[in-house]
Amino acid sequence: MTEIRLYKSPWRAIMLILICSAFVLGGIWLLDSDASPKWVSWASIGFFGLGFPVGLFHLFDRRPQIIINETGIFDRTAYKKTINWEIIHDAYLAEIHHQKFICLVIDEDYEPSRSRGKLYQKSAEFSKSLGFQELNISLGQIKVNEKKLLEFVQAMIVADKDEKVKQLRLSRNNW
């Protein structure tokens, strides 16, 4: 089966670790000065110190984040199953705080909130009010041209099975 696998960018994990290091060092520096209360420096060290294990996890996690094949698209962060091309009607790009997402418009019958509780349904409604969908593919940790990926996803939605295999072979190294 022909497929495209997209992995997390190790440079983004390294940047997270470096930025958190600067704030942790700032918190350590504040411990020695009398300019601020001790709880501020400890809060800075504690909060930004959490960036180290997160950054290390992203750095060493070599599992594919997104897998695209002729059956559908799989994103480890969005949904635990492959989202079949047949249930996707459209896709569009959305952004919040410089984090880009590909939002998938799917049949209402297949929306994950239908089988979940009231709290999950309310959060899905809130997500839609922000301009997102229930199934959103996060591109925050992946180094990819989001516009080309969006065009590819939109082309795969309308293509037949043979055309999907052809598109996958042609687009393997385009991003």
Structural domain boundaries in the chain: 3-60, 77-170
Please tell me the distance from the alpha carbon of residue 89 to that of residue 166, in angstroms, as a whole number: 21
What are 96-147's pLDDT values in tens digits?
888 899 999 988 877 777 777 788 778 888 888 888 888 899 998 888 899 9
User: What mean pLDDT comes out for the span 32-40?
Assistant: 87
pTM of the model: 0.80
Contacts of 28 (CB under 8 A, 6+ apart): 41, 45
Phi/psi for 64 (5° steps) reads -65, 135
* pLDDT score recorded for residue 166: 86
The predicted-structure confidence for 64-101, as pLDDT tens digits, reads as follows 999 999 999 999 887 778 899 999 999 999 998 888 99
Can you tell me the distance from the alpha carbon of 157 to that of 150, in angstroms, rounded to the nearest whole number?
11
